[in-house]
Amino acid sequence: MGFHGLDGYPHVLPVWFEHRDGEVLIATPLATYKGRALSRDGRAALSVSTVERPYWIVSVVGDATVERLPESDRIEFVGAIALRYLGPERGREYLEAWRKGGHPGDGELIRLRPRKIHFSTS
């Protein structure tokens, strides 16, 4: 995910995301750098591709908002996305470590609403 940092420079971070109802959803802990930066300037971009050739690429540019994500919703969202990204066994291991590490609690949900979507292959 790309966005304008608090220092005015572009920042790019890897994120786990879900596409739902025309929006790109990203969960994050409370008061992270990306959450604070996007609250100030919501212009953002995301680019993803398949892992093998031919690479199917989609790039999105749009406006992001940041909203509070209650703990129960955060656990449900992160649980589903961890299973999707890591598979059943590794996803459960990740969630167990995440819960033991004290990460649950309220978080924030970043909603990226696309203005432009570009598809390509490489």
For 17, the domain range is: 2-70+106-121
Residue 44 lies in a domain: yes
Supply the DSSP string of the chain, one letter for each residue: -EEE-TTSSEEE-----EEETTEEEEEEETT-HHHHHHHH--EEEEEEE-SSSSPEEEEEEEEEEEEEE-HHHHHHHHHHHHHHHH-HHHHHHHHHHHHHTT--S-EEEEEEEEEEEEEEE-
pLDDT at 101 (0 to 100):
78
Ranges of the chain with pLDDT below 70 = none
Domain at 59, CATH number: 2.30.110.10
75 inside domain: no
∠ CA 26-30-31, rounded to 5°? 105
In a domain? residue 30: yes
Predicted local confidence at residue 100, as pLDDT: 85
What is the structure's pLDDT at 104?
81
- Considering the domain boundaries, does residue 100 fall inside one? no
Indicate whether 88 belongs to any domain: no
Residue 86 lies inside a defined structural domain of this protein: no
Q: According to the model, what pLDDT value does residue 116 have?
A: 98
Confirm whether 17 is domain-assigned: yes
pLDDT of residue 83: 95
pTM value?
Answer: 0.92
Residue 28 has a pLDDT of 95
User: Could you give the number of structural domains in the chain?
Assistant: 1
